[in-house]
Amino acid sequence: MAFENKFIQQRIEKAEILRKVGINPYSNDAQRNTTIAKYLNVNSDVADKENARDENRHYIVSGRIKLLRIMGKASFLQIEDESGVLQIYLARDNLPEGFYNDIFKKLIEVGDIIEVAGYPFVTGQGELSLHADALKLLTKAISPLPEKFHGVTDKEIRYRKRYLDLIMNADVRKTFKIRSKVISLTRRFFEDKGFLEVETPMMHPIAGGANAKPFVTHHNALGIDRYLRIAPELYLKRLIVGGFEAVFEINRNFRNEGMDATHNPEFTSIEFYWAYKTYKDLIVITKEYFEYLFDHLDLPTQLPYGDFEVDFSKFSEIPLIESLSTIGGVPSEIVNNKEKIADFLKSKNITLKPGLTLGQLQGELFDAFVEKKLINPTFITEYPVEISPLARRSDENPDITERFELFIAGREIANAFSELNDPVDQLNRFEGQMAAKESGDDEAHEMDEDFIEALSYGMAPTAGQGIGIDRLVMLLTNEHSIRDVLLFPAMKPIHNEELNQEEEV
RNA sequence: GUCUUGUUAGCUCAGCUGGUAGAGCACGUCACUUUUAAUGAUGUGGCCGAUGGUUCGAAUCCAUCACAGGACACCA
């Protein structure tokens, strides 16, 4: 890329002039002795002192210049570091001879990262500031910052150039701090419960553990294709077979599907597996997990999400079939009858693929009439076996599985079940999935013979759960696009890049 | 994938029924030692997303494409 923009040229020239007068525009000699937040905190008593200042205190702060107000022989600037914003008062007569007019006014500008030394004082307008006696340039910015008042609002720029977004929109940092905390708290919660964090492969010979289209990559030395994982599930269960009794993995999954407000091609989830437990234990630990998160994030349990108010202290639990009538308003007499459900859905103008089973039709009813109504956290339990290819059958009713999904604000947040550990049953279900694949369902599970073999050695009764971290963070931060909780969301290439790629192929 | 809205200066945006482009901020110059998006004066700054078409003439109308936002569909 060429720095041909005239503003950039101007600034490069300024950097050159600085070099000529012996000032390194990219100094590596940072002497900061406090952060802005600490400075503001420690000096909050200065307002009560004589002349609202304390010349005996001396601080060196640094940050990026966000605003600059030159008023003749004195200037105010606002600098920002990660912790906050500080106003600097700079006067010609407090600085070395010639520095103010020849260096500062001509060669230092908004966007530059500087270091300022001086003492605390409060301005006539009542703002705790720093009275500077030295200013040093640390880093010259040769690209100008966006407009100081409106900043950068264009979503495309904000997503593609997240660094600019972070410079200009301090609030964005909050979202990503919450995200970071959620991940570290999640890790700590499960470790405290005795779970072992593990890392399983992201390049799979068979893409299993979910219904999704995988990305394909190629291993040159072996001459074989690999799939980026769509879920870590089958590997984590192999570890339970191997004798670990509680494992979890927090990491990325990759799905080669559409992108929209709730789908990014790579997304983060936690999956955990717990031997000698059932999905009922998972309901308990999930409630504890949310309580733990809210405690440590210092969030109120009632949070706004768009038009809703979600009460995270009110978890409820209801079997899927029951929810169809009590929450979805579907007549209870039809929910166990294939033909009647099909007729009902048709009467609501919902088109169906032919040949759906009863369980699949019940799933359709749920999606159409129940899901969006689940605002407060709700565990939907007892899923039909046809839509739960990896879950264990209920001992009482072979048509349903020991499974739940957790819904909050009308969205699925977690999926959990008592794991299927009968290797013959698992084999049969894989075969069913393969039949579905043959008949055109390219998201059906693939046969994983090694996984079947693992199960054949015996996996203790185990419960497992996955939680979508991105969507959880969206809920906690009241964000409605997954791109707002991903530092670098996937974006289509701009035209030039795309052409280059095509040429290489 | 479908529908819809947008793309104009570094940024935020105007630009009517077609007559070859405007503001604010930023930047340059000048003034100004307690400002808060500082202020006043003055100046520079543009391949109007791309390609075609209609027209004497297109930022403006039409078509195609690209990217983005929103909605819907699909999807554990």
pLDDT digits (tens, 9 = 90+) for A298-350: 999 999 998 889 999 999 999 999 999 999 999 999 999 888 988 888 888 77
Helical H segments across A366-482, by residue range: 423-438, 449-456, 469-477
Instruction: Evaluate if the CB of A11 falls below 7 Å from strand B.
Output: no
pLDDT at A4 over 80: no
- Specify whether the backbone of A321 is left (phi greater than 0), alpha (psi in -120 to 50) or beta: alpha
Instruction: Evaluate if the CB of A449 falls below 7 Å from strand B.
Output: no
What is the mean predicted confidence (pLDDT) over A90-97?
Answer: 94
pLDDT digits (tens, 9 = 90+) for A375-416: 999 999 999 988 887 789 999 999 899 999 999 999 999 999
| Nucleic strand B contacts from chain A, 249-268, CB < 7 Å | 257-258, 260-261, 263
Domain residue limits, chain A: 6-145, 168-328+370-504
Report the distance separating Cα A271 and Cα A416, nearest Å.
9
In this predicted structure, what is the pLDDT of residue A478?
92
| Contacts of residue A143, Cβ cutoff 8 Å, sequence gap at least 6 | A5, A7, A8, A11, A111
In this predicted structure, what is the pLDDT of residue A495?
59
pLDDT at A170 over 80: yes
| Nucleic strand B contacts from chain A, 34-93, CB < 7 Å | 67-74, 76, 78, 87, 89, 91-93
Query: CB-hemisphere CA count at 13 Å for A9?
Result: 4
Report the distance separating Cα A68 and Cα A106, nearest Å.
12
pLDDT digits (tens, 9 = 90+) for A205-234: 998 888 888 899 999 999 999 999 999 999
What is the mean predicted confidence (pLDDT) over A469-488?
Answer: 94
* Helix pair angle (A338-347, A358-365), 10° resolution: 30
Tokens of A494: 């701009």
Question: Which ipTM score applies to this complex?
Answer: 0.91
CATH of A6-145, one of 3.90.550.10, 2.40.40.20, 3.30.365.10, 2.40.50.140: 2.40.50.140
pLDDT at A362 over 60: yes
Query: CB-hemisphere CA count at 13 Å for A61?
Result: 32
pLDDT digits (tens, 9 = 90+) for A186-212: 999 999 999 999 999 999 999 888 888
| Nucleic strand B contacts from chain A, 318-377, CB < 7 Å | 353
Give me the percent of chain A exceeding a pLDDT of 90: 77
Between CA A131 and C1' B70 the distance (Å) reads 48
What is the mean predicted confidence (pLDDT) over A277-298?
Answer: 96
Element (H, E) at A324: helix A320-326
Residue A164 DSSP SS3: helix
Report the distance separating Cα A418 and Cα A99, nearest Å.
72
| Nucleic strand B contacts from chain A, 389-428, CB < 7 Å | 389-391, 412, 415
pLDDT at A440 over 60: yes
Between CA A152 and C1' B46 the distance (Å) reads 20
Nearest to A318 by CA among A333, A308, A305, A328: A328
Q: Looking at domain A168-328+370-504, does it have CATH number 3.40.50.620?
A: no
CA A439 → CA A359, A430, A436, A444, distances in Å? Answer: 19, 14, 5, 10
Q: Which residue is nearest to nucleotide B33 (CA to C1')?
A: A74
pTM of the model: 0.91
Residue A458: other Cβ atoms inside 10 A: 9
Give me the percent of chain A exceeding a pLDDT of 70: 97
Instruction: Evaluate if the CB of A447 falls below 7 Å from strand B.
Output: no
Nucleotides of B under 7 A from a protein CB: 1, 10-13, 24-29, 31-39, 45, 66-76
Residue A156 DSSP SS3: helix
CA A212 → CA A102, A257, A271, A391, distances in Å? Answer: 63, 8, 17, 17
In this predicted structure, what is the pLDDT of residue A436?
75
pLDDT digits (tens, 9 = 90+) for A7-23: 999 999 999 999 999 99
